[in-house]
Amino acid sequence: QIVGKVVIVTGASRGIGAATAKLLGSNDYKVCVNYLSDKNAADRVCASIADNGGVAFAHEADVSDEAQVLDMFEYVREQWDEVTHLVNNVGVLFTKTELINVSAERFTKVLNTNVLSAFLCSKAFVKQSVAGGAIVNVSSIASRTGAPFEYVDYATSKGAMDSFTKGLSLELATKNIRVNSVRPGFIKTDIHADGGEPGRVERLSSQIPMQRGGTADEVAQAIAWLLSPQSSYVTGSFIDLAGGK
């Protein structure tokens, strides 16, 4: 039986990660706001959670580095208790281009940040889990579309995350640990600026059946549901948040 709710949200200083951390903080989770470089942004997320009566702290860690992941989990346990929930949200996206222009270095960086991080954090989570809990992996509809001429490397990493979600969910099905995924698409966050087109969602809105982009808060709501007891019979499942695409 899980008593307290302790969650690590990776890449939680902005975008979907920040929205998720704030929402969980308002729902009685103790939140570890993981970040890589922007301490000020992570601290602002924690301050927002505290202002709403929640409990949180920011923790700097490169989650594609196993030693730093293990240190983070150990630190959270020392502060609160075992980690009961995990959101593998961290992701990186580089300037859109055709595959022929993608360097091996870029491809490796994308896989390490988006996939290796989920593997390392999930492994650390399972090893310390006594009561069980839930994991949500933040994938992308790019895993279905392949993102041709733009982000094939990113899409590849998300396809790998989908396979990881399915396999891990089956491994952990008898251990009281549920593993699910959200697949956002066309969400208004800063990641599009990383790809060189901050207005991408607006440009593509007419191609979306719902005729608009989504918000980080809308994705956070789905993540929160998958973590919660309300989805207690759901594992190995995917929620697409892409306005009908």
Type and span of the H or E element at 31: strand 29-35
Active site residue 154: yes
CA distance readout (Å), 242 to 14, 120, 182, 188, 214: 19, 28, 10, 11, 7
In which residue are the tokens 């396809």 written? Answer: 159
CA dihedral sign, ordered 122, 129, 171, 182: negative
* Helices and strands in the chain, H and E counts: 10, 7
Q: Which two tokens stand for residue 93?
A: 């996206």
Cα–Cα nearest to 225, from 24, 14, 3: 24
Which of 29, 151, 154, 233 is flagged as catalytic? 154
Active site residues: 154
